[in-house]
């Protein structure tokens, strides 16, 4: 591959491939991360009411003012951050568009972008579309914690931006305050921009806290923070995400967004205004319900012989599959639907060159408990013959 022409065209994502396999085999889909249940009825009703009330034309480029206000208020309430609802918030077609727009806006051809590896698949595609070079810094199994010395030595004169994701997909690591402070100090020292993907900000389990990088010393002016309603309110199909930060950076993201979607989802934006008015009880109940499912999956997978490290956040668990005598996570996952009637994601697609330290697969637990139990029972039958 020479970095230009057809070889650089993005490939079909693993999520599309694996969800198609799930359908073909009527498998329990523990691959692509989308819940089976819809989000709260009052939020769905708010979007339906907005449609009936005629909110069906283009929204403003940056999003409807009520939603920008609600996003700003959410950042203030939870983190004491105060993005300007006028110029410091842009609503996007999911976090995916926010990531692409931020990278296209902030990365110049030849710039290096550092991301912790494994990383969400759109990062590499986004960096490449911007003409940049993604430099991976590995989170080592089994703990998957950031190694700050390794990060420091990956920074060069060409490094433009750090792309951070916490809580982290696919490993479930929640970066702690000390780790984030060290990342922030490095960003300040080397004058780097930071894009931080915090879509799982409310999926953090007991004993951990979500710390937004934008709130740490010296970070506000250099940081674009990205989140999405899809995860927090179980409405992934609505594709309402956002980027927040200083007007100077958010304005650049919005300028690129003009030529991606321009704007999208007017009635859904109204629905998310209602969603963001949820009290703390909603968010606590949401995380608690996932913590129970995490515990069920972690115990069930460990019992089957997967090497499991308990995720601290997100709705994913990354497992080692060495005990099955398998070398290749992709082959394992391609075979799994037929062998067990279950779909999972091989994490090698989240590594820059597909070169994984050990064969690994990711399972999601964003399904009702009976579905998770059915998935575990099928794995037991298919893998252990019991
Ligand atoms: N970032 C991460 C880390 C994700 O896991 C996902 C999707 N689950 C996204 C971004 C994309 O979010 P959205 O569906 O809002 O585009
Ligand atoms: N973010 C979801 C996951 O990691 C999938 C989103 C997508 O299909 N692009 O499973």
CA–centroid distance, residue 325 to ligand 2 (Å)? 28
| Residue 240, helix vs strand vs coil | strand
**Structure tokens, 141:** 């199994």
Q: Which residues line ligand 2 (CB under 6 A)?
A: 13, 15, 32-33, 169
d(CA 90, CA 100): 13
d(CA 240, CA 332): 34
Tallying the residues shown for the chain, one arrives at 386
Q: Band the pLDDT of 6: cuts 50, 70, 90.
A: very low
- pLDDT exceeds cutoff 70 at 353: yes
User: What pLDDT score does 357 carry?
Assistant: 82
CA distances from 301 to 5, 7, 24, 364 (A): 42, 37, 24, 12
Q: Which atom of ligand 1 is nearest to the CA of 236?
A: 14
Q: Which long-range contacts (CB under 8 A, 24 or more apart) does 60-66 make?
A: 60/263, 61/90, 61/254, 61/257, 61/258, 61/262, 61/263, 62/89, 62/90, 62/91, 62/254, 63/89, 63/90, 63/91, 63/242, 63/263, 63/269, 64/91, 64/266, 64/269, 64/270, 64/273, 66/270, 66/273
d(CA 290, CA 365): 8
Alpha helices in the chain (DSSP H): 14-24, 41-52, 65-79, 94-106, 121-129, 148-154, 177-189, 229-232, 247-257, 266-276, 280-304, 329-340, 369-384
Q: Band the pLDDT of 90: cuts 50, 70, 90.
A: very high
User: What pLDDT score does 164 carry?
Assistant: 98
Q: Band the pLDDT of 267: cuts 50, 70, 90.
A: very high
Q: Band the pLDDT of 206: cuts 50, 70, 90.
A: very high
- pLDDT exceeds cutoff 60 at 41: yes
d(CA 322, CA 192): 38
Mean pLDDT across 95-121: 98
- Does ligand 1 have an atom closer than 6 angstroms to the CB of 165? yes
d(CA 211, CA 347): 25
Q: How far is CA 185 from the centre of its chain?
A: 24
Sign of the CA dihedral running 44, 45, 46, 51: positive
Q: What is the DSSP letter of 3?
A: S
Mean pLDDT of the chain: 95
- Does ligand 1 have an atom closer than 6 angstroms to the CB of 118? no
**Structure tokens, 236:** 């992934």
Q: What is the DSSP letter of 85?
A: T
Q: What is the DSSP letter of 80?
A: -
Among 56, 39, 77, CA closest to 228:
39
User: What pLDDT score does 356 carry?
Assistant: 83
- Does ligand 1 have an atom closer than 6 angstroms to the CB of 33? yes
E strand or H helix at 346, and its extent? strand 345-346
- pLDDT exceeds cutoff 60 at 5: no
Q: Which atom of ligand 1 is nearest to the CA of 99?
A: 10
Q: What is the pTM of this model?
A: 0.96
- pLDDT exceeds cutoff 50 at 7: no
- Does ligand 1 have an atom closer than 6 angstroms to the CB of 197? yes
Which ligand is closest in space to the CA of residue 345? 2
User: What pLDDT score does 8 carry?
Assistant: 58
Predicted confidence (pLDDT) per residue in 155-193, tens digit: 999 999 999 999 999 999 999 999 999 999 999 999 999
d(CA 87, CA 304): 51
d(CA 60, CA 315): 32
- Atom 2 of ligand 2, nearest CA residue: 33
CA–centroid distance, residue 343 to ligand 2 (Å)? 14
Q: Band the pLDDT of 386: cuts 50, 70, 90.
A: confident
Q: Which atom of ligand 1 is nearest to the CA of 241?
A: 15
Predicted confidence (pLDDT) per residue in 290-348, tens digit: 999 999 999 999 999 999 999 999 999 999 999 999 889 999 999 999 999 999 999 99
Residues 6+ apart with CB under 8 A from 338: 25
Domains (ranges, CATH) in the chain? Answer: 14-39+281-384 (3.90.1150.10), 41-276 (3.40.640.10)
Q: Which atom of ligand 2 is nearest to the CA of 364?
A: 10
Cis previous bond, 142, omega within 30: yes
Percent of the chain with pLDDT over 70: 97
CA–centroid distance, residue 44 to ligand 2 (Å)? 22
């Amino acid at each position: 591959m020479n970095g230009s022409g057809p070889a650089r065209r993005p490939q079909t994502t693993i999520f599309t491939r694996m969800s198609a396999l799930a359908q073909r085999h009527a498998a329990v889909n523990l691959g692509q991360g989308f819940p089976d249940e819809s989000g709260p009825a009052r939020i769905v009703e708010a979007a339906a009411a907005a449609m009936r009330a005629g909110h069906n034309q283009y929204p403003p480029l940056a999003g409807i003012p009520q939603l920008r206000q609600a996003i700003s208020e959410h950042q203030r309430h939870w983190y004491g951050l105060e993005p300007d609802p006028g110029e410091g918030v842009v609503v996007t077609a999911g976090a995916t568009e926010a990531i692409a727009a931020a990278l296209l806006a902030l990365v110049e051809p030849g710039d290096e972008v550092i991301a912790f590896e494994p990383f969400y698949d759109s990062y590499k595609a986004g960096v490449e579309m911007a003409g940049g070079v993604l430099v991976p810094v590995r989170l080592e199994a089994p703990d998957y914690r950031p190694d700050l010395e390794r990060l420091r030595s990956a920074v060069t004169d060409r490094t433009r931006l750090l792309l951070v994701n916490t809580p982290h997909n696919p490993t479930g690591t929640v970066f702690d305050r000390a780790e984030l402070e060290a990342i922030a100090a490095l960003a300040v020292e080397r004058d780097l921009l930071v894009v931080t993907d915090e879509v799982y900000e409310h999926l953090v389990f007991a004993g951990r806290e979500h710390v937004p990088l934008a709130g740490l010393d010296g970070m506000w002016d250099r940081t674009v923070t990205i989140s999405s309603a899809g995860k927090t309110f179980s409405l992934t199909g609505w594709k309402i995400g956002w980027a927040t930060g200083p007007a100077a950076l958010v304005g650049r993201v919005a300028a690129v967004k003009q030529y991606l979607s321009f704007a999208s989802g007017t009635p859904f934006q109204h629905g998310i205004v209602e969603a963001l008015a949820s009290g703390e009880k909603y968010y606590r109940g949401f995380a608690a319900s996932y913590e129970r499912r995490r515990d069920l999956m972690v115990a069930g997978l460990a019992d089957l012989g997967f090497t499991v490290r308990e995720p601290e956040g997100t709705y994913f668990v990354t497992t080692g599959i060495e005990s099955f005598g398998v070398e290749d996570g992709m082959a394992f996952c391609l075979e799994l639907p037929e062998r067990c009637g279950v779909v999972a994601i091989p994490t090698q697609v989240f590594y820059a060159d597909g070169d994984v330290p050990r064969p690994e697969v990711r399972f999601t637990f964003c399904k009702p408990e009976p579905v998770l139990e059915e998935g575990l029972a099928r794995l037991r039958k298919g893998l252990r013959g019991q």
